[in-house]
């Protein structure tokens, strides 16, 4: 079967064998206005900078949280590896010292009541994690 060639201005769909100019989402007549491509480079540039700033801010937050978590891990290991002959109570503050052999030990004696080599004070929380205690706030 020989297909006849339609003129360029006629909108004929070869697949459906129908004239479908009215169904197109764009203008199909020769007299229709030209399709203009919108310049969105300023929008892209502005939003690229915003997105990059947000991603960098999130990265810095995650980095700070990671560093804090690693510091907590170090404190936790420091206290759990210390010498002590009692079972610590959750919610209580204990004090970490260094003896003459440079070995750490945990004590209930406050730094103001002794002259040991003081390392820091730690609180055992409900998750059994040692949190460093500062003198001003009570917790770090």
The pLDDT value given to residue 9 = 64
Dump the DSSP string for the chain: -PPPPPPTTS-EETTTTEE-GGG-SS--STTSPPPPPP--HHHHHHHHHHHHHHHHHHHHHHHHHHHHHHHHHHHHHHHHTSB-SS-PPTT-EEEEEE-TTS-EEEESS-GGG--SEEEEEEEE-TTS-EEEE-TTTS--
Under the banding of pLDDT at 50, 70 and 90, the label for residue 3 is low
pTM recorded for the entire structure: 0.58
Answer yes or no: is pLDDT of 34 > 70: yes
Across the range 118-138, mean pLDDT stands at: 86
Q: Which has more confidence, 67 or 21?
A: 67
pLDDT tens for each residue of 72-111: 999 999 999 999 999 999 999 999 999 999 999 999 999 9
pLDDT in tens, 36-67: 788 888 889 999 999 999 999 999 999 999 99
């Amino acid at each position: 079967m020989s297909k006849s060639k339609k003129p360029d201005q006629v909108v004929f769909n070869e697949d459906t064998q129908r004239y479908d100019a009215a169904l197109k989402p764009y203008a199909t007549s020769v007299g229709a206005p030209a399709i203009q491509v919108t310049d969105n480079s300023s929008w892209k540039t502005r939003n690229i900078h915003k997105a990059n700033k947000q991603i960098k801010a999130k990265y810095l937050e995650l980095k700070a949280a990671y560093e804090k978590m690693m510091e907590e891990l170090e404190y936790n290991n420091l206290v759990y590896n210390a010498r002590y002959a009692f079972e610590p109570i959750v919610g209580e503050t204990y004090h970490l010292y260094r003896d003459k052999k440079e070995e750490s030990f945990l004590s209930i004696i406050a730094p103001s009541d002794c002259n040991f080599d003081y390392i820091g004070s730690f609180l055992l929380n409900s998750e059994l994690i040692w949190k460093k205690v500062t003198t001003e706030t009570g917790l770090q």
